[in-house]
């Protein structure tokens, strides 16, 4: 049975991000990092004192991910780059294919150091989205095709299932995942949502193995149990939340949001749009 729970939401960083996205916790830096895709900014939030640093990126940035060694990787318009120790952005790989109508959209590393990322069609061409795998040897591989808007991705707690989101279709897919070979197969619909009630966007997993799908245009996060049903909705004070990630304490959940497509009146009524939010996840489940 789906329930909508109320919870206390705080502002971690007040920002005006057009498309805030891809929050990740870096244990190495003890910081929460997130991006503004079209704003060309990397935000670095310090939860200890509440301060935030903003690093300008040379182009729009479609993904932010952390490899198993703790290196921070960014997906720029022309390829992949690392965030250096001095804050410099150092390119190290080209994009899967050179086409200005495509860009990265979300990505994560598996335990073997392979980057999985969606490549979306900027023109909204149906079925044009691609799921890619980037291997440590520098090679790109097409893992699957036919997506309208490839988005959030995650693995099951036992690592045997890979989940991938198509926001426009309102579907989250499950695949059998072979961690050794880095292959996926047996694609099936794991969870389906009516896009008119919110589009599944960023995806993460809690400590109990439930998936958290942030619903764009629905002011909520869907908590999905292992059978694919939505167990509850956790409400948010913004209409366009995009993604979420746990902080270093394992219970603070950070949520990014977007201002894109909202009217001046909407933005005036709710100045939190585009900010980084935080909540106590376990309090939200009580």
Measuring CA to CA, which residue among 206, 215, 263, 277 is closest to residue 242? Answer: 215
CB atoms within 10 A of CB 6: 8
CB 281 within 8 A of CB 204: no
- Identify whether 137 is a catalytic site residue: no
CB 145 within 8 A of CB 162: no
Residues 212 and 172: their CA atoms lie apart, in Å, by 11
CB burial readout 89-120, b (16+ within 10 A) else e:
beeebebbeeeeebbbbbbbbbeeebbbbbbb
CB burial readout 26-50, b (16+ within 10 A) else e:
beeeebbbbbbbebbbbbbbebeee
Residues 200 and 33: their CA atoms lie apart, in Å, by 21
Q: Which of these is catalytic: 144, 148, 201, 264?
A: 201
Coil/strand/helix, residue 115: strand
Name the residues annotated as catalytic: 201
């Amino acid at each position: 049975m789906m329930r909508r729970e109320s919870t206390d939401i705080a502002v971690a960083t007040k920002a005006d991000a057009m498309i805030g996205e891809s929050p990740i916790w870096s244990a190495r830096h003890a910081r929460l990092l997130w991006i503004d895709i079209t704003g060309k900014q990397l935000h670095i939030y310090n939860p200890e004192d509440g301060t935030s640093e903003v690093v300008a990126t040379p182009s729009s940035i479609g993904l932010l991910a952390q490899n198993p060694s703790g290196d921070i990787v960014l997906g720029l318009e022309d390829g992949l780059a690392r965030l250096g120790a001095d804050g410099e952005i150092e390119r190290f790989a080209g994009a899967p294919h050179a086409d200005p109508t495509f860009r990265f959209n979300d990505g994560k590393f598996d335990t073997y150091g392979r980057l999985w990322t969606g490549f979306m069609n900027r023109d909204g061409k149906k079925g044009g989205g691609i799921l890619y795998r980037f291997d440590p040897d520098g090679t790109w591989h097409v893992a699957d095709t036919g997506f309208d808007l490839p988005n959030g991705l995650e693995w099951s707690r036992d690592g045997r299932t890979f989940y991938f989101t198509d926001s426009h279709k309102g579907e989250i897919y499950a695949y059998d995942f072979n961690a050794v070979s880095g292959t996926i197969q047996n694609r099936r619909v794991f969870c389906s949502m009516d896009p008119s009630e919110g589009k599944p966007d960023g995806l993460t997993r809690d400590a109990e193995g439930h998936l958290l799908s942030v619903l764009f245009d629905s002011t909520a996060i869907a908590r999905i149990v292992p059978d694919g049903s939505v167990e509850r909705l956790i409400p948010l004070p913004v209409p366009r939340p995009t993604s979420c990630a746990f902080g270093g304490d394992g219970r603070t959940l950070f949520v990014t949001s977007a201002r894109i497509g909202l009217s001046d009146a909407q933005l005036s009524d709710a100045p939190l749009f585009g900010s980084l939010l935080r909540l106590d996840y376990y309090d939200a489940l009580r």
